[in-house]
Structure 1
C-alpha cells in the first residue's frame, strides 16, 4: 500500500516534508458567505498560489470577506485541468503552498480538483484539506430521508438514453441517493426518476441551500414532478431520493424454473439450488424439495 509516508503499512499523513510545498483543498460557501471558515479566510490571504475554478467568483468571495489576496491567482477548471495540473505540481515541488477552491463547496467533489489530488498522490506530494460547506451533506441532512447509508451520484447524463441506462443501474440501490441537477433540466430528470423508480418513491428537491430563498420540498416523485411541471424552477438544485425498498422473500416454488435453467446449463442440482436460494432469499431445503416435487 502506498502510504505517502515512506513507512510500509503506516497511515497516510498530511504533514509537509521540509522544503516542500503542499496542496490545500478548501471548501467555500455554497450560498451564505457567513459560512466561510476562519481557516479559509487566513489561507486566502496567505497562500502562495490560489487555483480557482472561476477567478471572477473568487474575486467576489474575497471582496465579501474583506480579504486581500497576496498570492498569485491561477484559473483551474475542467477545460484546462490536464495542462495546469502539471504546472501546479511543479510549483508544489518548488515549495509553494497552493490553495485549491471551486465555485462552491469542496473541490474534487463534482468540481475540479481530482486530477490535482491524483497527480500529487502519485508524485508523493502533500495534500490536505480545509473542510466546510457541502451541498451534498446539507441536502441529505435536510431531506428527511435515511442518512445512515447514502451514495452521491452527481449529475445524471443529459441524453435521455444515457440517463435511462444510468438509472437502470440504480434501480435496486438500497442507499439514499443524492443528485445535482440544473434548474432547466429538473422536470425531465424527475420524470425519468418517476418512470424508473415509481411514483410513490420518496424524494426531496433542495433549492438554493443556505441562501435567502432556500427551499426544500419533500414528497413522492409524483408530487415533486407535478410541482416542477407547474413552476419555473430557478437556482442551484440537489435532489435526494430514497433507496429501493427491501425485496420481499419469494416462495420456493416460484424459483423452480430458475434452478432448472441452471441445471440445463450443466450446473449440478445442489449448486443450482444454493445459488438461486441465495439470490431469491428462500430456504435451500424448501427450494430443493419444490424442484423434486415439480419433477
Structure 2
C-alpha cells in the first residue's frame, strides 16, 4: 500500500462469522472468533496501527452495526432463531457498543470510524415478539428502528471524538436524518454531495476486487466525479477505496486478487 501511495486501510474486522478482536471491557466477546487461533489481541491491533503509521497509512476500523453482528454476545440477538441485527430494544446493546468503541479508541487514533449500517434485515425485529412490542410502544416501524439504531451509534462514535462513516444504505434510507458530520461510503457520490455530505467512492462494479472479471484498465478509468459538475461539490469527494472482502479469498490468493488492480486505483487517485 505504501509503495502504491494508498494511505488509508479500512479494517473490516468484525462480521457475522467472527468477532476476532480482544475487547478488555468485554473479555468474552472474542469467544465469537472463528477459531481461537484467528484472533487479534490488543497488542496485535496496536502493532498493526503503528506498522501502518510508519509507512504513512492510517487505519480506519469498521464495526458494522446493527447488521453483520451474529458473532456478538447471544444475549444481543433478538432471538435464537433470528440472530441479527442486534436487538434495538435493549439499552445494553448500546452500552456494549459504547464500551467497545471506548476500548478501541485507545488503539485507533485516526479521526474516522466506519459504522457500516448496510444489509439490515428489519423483518427480524418485527417478527420477534418482545422487539415488536417495543416498536409498538415507541410508535416505530422497522425502518424507524433502523434509523434510530444508526443515529444512536453515530452519537456514540462522535462522543468518542470520531467522525462517523456509513455505507450508502443509511443515506438512501434517511438522508434528512443522518448526522451532518457523516461521511457517506458510496458506490456513486452525486446524491450524497448534493446534500452536502462528504463521500468516499467505491464503485461496486469495478472497485470491488472480488469481481475477478474486471481488468485493471476498467479500475483505472472509473470516474469518481461522474455526475458531479459543481466544483464545490467535487471537493466533497474526499477519496476512493477499493474493497477486498475476506470471504472470497484466503492467504493463497489474496495478494493476486488485490494487485495490480489496487495500484491502478491508487494511480487514478
Q: What TM-score, normalized to structure 1? A: 0.27
Q: What TM-score, normalized to structure 2? A: 0.28
- Which structure's relative contact order is higher, taking Cα pairs within 8 Å and 6+ residues apart? 1
The structure richer in strand per residue is 1
Q: Higher Cα Rg: structure 1 or 2?
A: 1
